[in-house]
């Protein structure tokens, strides 16, 4: 029977356990340059006991930015700072992938270069807000990407993948989930195009698959992951037939032998209906490779998911915020630190690198 604490591998890439760190936006990068903060080096180093760290979502261009203080991977200075992070993770015996991201319509003119409107698959505004220098504001009206703009964005993803290699990452995850740009092409609530990138499931999947093909020119397939949220409603998303849409996507990713599929099975705090669960389970059954499950997993659910072969690994989000040594705590059945939601986004060390390790907690109790 497979254990959550057992080693696993994808091709030639070995992981020391099946407790993965999910991508977590923490908004501590330099807002003018999109360079990760110095303190991020310590943050990721602390969490290197994860089987795999998947970094916070990282924009592949200035146009791909939707929130203040999120990091980028579109120039050499950003890559150099990421190299400092990958170096310390590797020194600690960890593995780390960067999540390549473009927010699409989930942005604001004040964040976009030269005050431009955000871009999307179509000019359909999201009923949601984003965090700007002036606080939470409604996202701005998007404009539909031209075909030339699509090709440029695909090239930006490829350049981001190249910079990740330069920065010493072990691989990359393509962010196709949670209502951001790739998701905006995949789902018909947002994609109203009538060209080669809209309409049929084949056309709506084209943008993602062309990105995957471009990244495959940089990385071996086992070093590429794709994250999807087929049934998620976050960021005002939806689809009339997610099972048909994402069955096609999974088939195509199988054909390309992508290293792993990472599904957001449920979003924290959101209800999941039986139809949604059935869709997710059908897609998992179709998938032929390494599968990472994410979505409100506690230790009991995680153990069961791995033992029952529902998943090969579990990506934990919030528990890793407050517990840098999460694998040790889970294996020992130790109490978990509770995360402080007030320090999730922005700020400095508080709520970022100051959560105690289990060994530190024991010293405090003994004192």
Query: Tens digits of per-residue pLDDT, 214-258?
Result: 999 999 999 999 999 999 999 999 999 999 999 999 999 999 999
CATH class of 8-366: alpha beta
Q: How far apart are CA 248 and CA 209, in angstroms?
A: 11
Beta-bridged to residue 294, according to DSSP, are: 264, 315
The CA distance from 203 to 199, in Å, is: 6
What distance in Å separates the CA atoms of residue 67 and residue 52, rounded to the nearest whole number?
A: 25
How far is 70 from 34, CA to CA, in rounded Å? 6
Mean pLDDT of the chain: 97
Let me know the angle formed at the C-alpha of 295 by 289 and 297, rounded to the nearest 5 degrees.
Answer: 100
Q: For residue 162, give every residue at least 6 positions away whose Cβ sits within 8 Å of its Cβ, in sequence order, or none.
A: 218
Catalytic pick among 43, 44, 67, 180: 180
For residues 253 and 220, give the distance between their C-alpha atoms in angstroms, rounded to a whole number.
14
Q: Is 67 a catalytic residue?
A: no
d(CA 232, CA 245): 13
How does pLDDT run across 159-201, given as a tens digit for each residue?
999 999 999 999 999 999 999 999 999 999 999 999 999 999 9
Q: What is the pLDDT of residue 366?
A: 46
Domain boundaries, the chain: 8-366
* Cβ pair 104, 128 in contact under 8 A: no
pLDDT above 90 coverage of the chain, percent: 94
Mean pLDDT of 211-215: 99
274: confidence class by pLDDT, cuts 50, 70, 90: confident
Q: What is the mean pLDDT of residues 300-311?
A: 98
| DSSP-assigned letters across all residues of 210-242 | HHHHHHHTTS-GGGEEEEE-TT--TTT---S-H
Whether the CB-CB separation of 161 and 172 falls below 8 Å is answered with yes
For the stretch 327-367, pLDDT in tens is: 999 999 999 999 999 999 999 999 999 999 998 765 555 44
**Each residue's pLDDT tens digit, 82-117:** 999 999 999 999 999 999 999 999 999 999 999 999
**H or E segment at 97?**
strand 96-101
Contact yes or no for 271/234 (Cβ under 8 A) = no
């Amino acid at each position: 029977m497979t254990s959550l604490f057992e080693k696993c591998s994808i091709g030639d890439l070995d992981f020391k356990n099946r407790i993965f760190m999910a991508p977590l936006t923490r908004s501590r990068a330099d807002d003018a340059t999109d360079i990760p903060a110095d303190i991020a080096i310590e943050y990721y180093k602390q969490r290197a006991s994860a089987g795999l760290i998947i970094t916070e979502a990282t924009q592949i261009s200035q146009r791909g930015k939707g929130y203040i203080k999120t990091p980028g991977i579109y120039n050499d200075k950003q890559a150099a700072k990421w190299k400092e992070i990958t170096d310390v993770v590797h020194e600690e015996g960890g593995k780390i992938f960067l999540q390549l991201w473009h927010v699409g319509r989930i942005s604001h003119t004040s964040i976009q270069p030269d005050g431009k409107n955000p871009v999307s698959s179509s000019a359909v505004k999201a009923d949601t807000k984003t965090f700007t220098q002036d606080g939470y504001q409604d996202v701005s009206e998007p404009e539909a990407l031209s075909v030339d703009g699509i090709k440029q964005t695909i090239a930006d993803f490829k350049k981001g993948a190249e910079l990740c290699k330069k920065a010493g990452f072990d691989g990359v995850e393509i962010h196709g989930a949670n209502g951001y740009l790739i998701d905006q092409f995949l789902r018909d609530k947002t994609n109203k195009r009538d060209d080669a990138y809209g309409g049929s499931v084949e056309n709506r999947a084209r943008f993602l698959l062309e990105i995957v093909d471009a990244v495959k020119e940089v990385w071996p397939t086992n070093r590429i992951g794709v994250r999807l949220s087929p049934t998620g409603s976050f960021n005002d998303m939806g689809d009339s037939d997610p099972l048909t849409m994402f069955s096609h996507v999974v088939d195509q990713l199988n054909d390309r032998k992508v290293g792993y599929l990472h599904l957001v099975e449920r979003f924290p705090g959101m209800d999941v209906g039986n139809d949604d669960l059935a869709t997710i389970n059908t897609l998992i059954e179709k998938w032929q490779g390494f599968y990472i499950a994410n979505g409100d997993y506690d230790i009991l659910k995680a153990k069961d998911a791995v033992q029952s072969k529902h998943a090969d690994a579990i990506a934990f989000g919030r528990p890793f915020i407050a517990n840098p040594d999460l694998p040790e705590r889970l294996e020992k059945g130790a109490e978990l630190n509770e995360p402080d939601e007030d320090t999730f986004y922005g700020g400095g060390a508080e709520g970022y690198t100051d959560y105690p390790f289990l060994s530190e907690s024991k010293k405090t109790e003994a004192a």
